[in-house]
Amino acid sequence: MQKRTQSANEVARSVNVSVAWGVVSGVSIIAFPIMLLVGFATHPNILSMSMVLDLKIWTSEWRTNDLFHIGHLIVMFAVPFIIFAAIALASLLRGRGAWHGFVGAILSVFGAFLLAVDKGALTFVLTAFKDMPDQDFDAITPALAAIFNREGWLWITWGYIALPIGFIILTIGLLREAVIRRLQGVCIIVGLLLLINPDIEIISSAGALLMCAGFVPIGWAFLLGRMTPSTAPLKG
């Protein structure tokens, strides 16, 4: 009787852990592309197709503009969800796509870390200057130019490009094992490719929207318990 009770308790704990895993994974996979979309869409001059190459234009976008910083803050807070999502998706790959899961998860987590560093530098640091009087603000122009040009070791933040590359590799693995449908995979991959652009927010927003179309159904399947590392792959 005692062994049966112990076994029942172990099963109950396993079920609770499985449910918690599904909830965390589902919420993360749904939340992070939506948060990226909101972050990109709140950018000033959202309809512009031009790269910002001028320091004065750049400073005019974020000076006295709280929405700019809130958008970057949302993107930075998406990082924990991105990490959980990458791990959850990698856990589904145990066959032909196992190496895609391993490599994709490593690149995604590394890129997410550098994304947090990048957005932290472009949010918390710049907010210290955004309400300065004009005379004082003009005096720190050389320092702002150094940030704008990513001088010193700031070039390392370009490593966040590993994030979309990692998720593309993960998605290829999911397609190889037929875990997701082909249309979902196409939406995700095209959306991620659109993120690899020279900071043109309308293109990034379109990419995030496509990512939502591909990732949200996966996250919903996790929440419903229909997708776990032990589930059979989907057909199609």
- pLDDT of the residue at 236: 38
**Residue at 133 is within a domain:** yes
Q: Determine contact, residues 114/156, Cβ cutoff 8 Å.
A: yes
**Residue at 9 is within a domain:** no
**Residue at 63 is within a domain:** yes
Q: Rounded to an integer, what distance in angstroms lies between the CA atom of residue 121 and that of residue 108? A: 20
One-letter identity of residue 21: W
Query: Is residue 9 predicted with pLDDT exceeding 60?
Result: no
Name the band, by pLDDT with cuts 50, 70 and 90, for residue 115: very high
User: Which residues constitute the domain of residue 46?
Assistant: 23-223
Q: Which two tokens stand for residue 28?
A: 């993360």
pLDDT in tens, 73-105: 999 999 999 999 999 999 999 888 999 999 999
Nearest to 211 by CA among 31, 57, 80: 31
Indicate the length of the chain as a whole number.
236
pLDDT in tens, 126-162: 999 998 999 999 999 999 999 999 999 999 999 999 9
Better-predicted residue by pLDDT, 165 or 1 = 165
**Residue at 89 is within a domain:** yes
- pLDDT of the residue at 232: 44
Q: Rounded to an integer, what distance in angstroms lies between the CA atom of residue 204 and that of residue 207? A: 5
Query: Is residue 6 predicted with pLDDT exceeding 60?
Result: no
In Å, how far from its chain's centre is CA 233? 24
- pLDDT of the residue at 64: 82
**Residue at 100 is within a domain:** yes
Q: What is the DSSP letter of 129?
A: T
Q: Rounded to an integer, what distance in angstroms lies between the CA atom of residue 228 and that of residue 88? A: 9
Question: How many domains, the chain?
Answer: 1
Name the band, by pLDDT with cuts 50, 70 and 90, for residue 5: low
- Give the angle subtended at the CA of 53 by the CAs of 49 and 59, to the nearest 5°: 100
Contacts of 179 (CB under 8 A, 6+ apart): 92, 93, 97, 227, 233, 234
Q: Determine contact, residues 209/40, Cβ cutoff 8 Å.
A: no
Query: Is residue 229 predicted with pLDDT exceeding 90?
Result: no
**Residue at 2 is within a domain:** no
Name the band, by pLDDT with cuts 50, 70 and 90, for residue 228: confident
State the burial class of residue 195 (Cβ atoms within 10 Å of its Cβ: 0-12, 13-18, 19+): buried
Mean pLDDT of the chain: 90
**Residue at 16 is within a domain:** no
**Residue at 5 is within a domain:** no
Query: Is residue 234 predicted with pLDDT exceeding 50?
Result: no
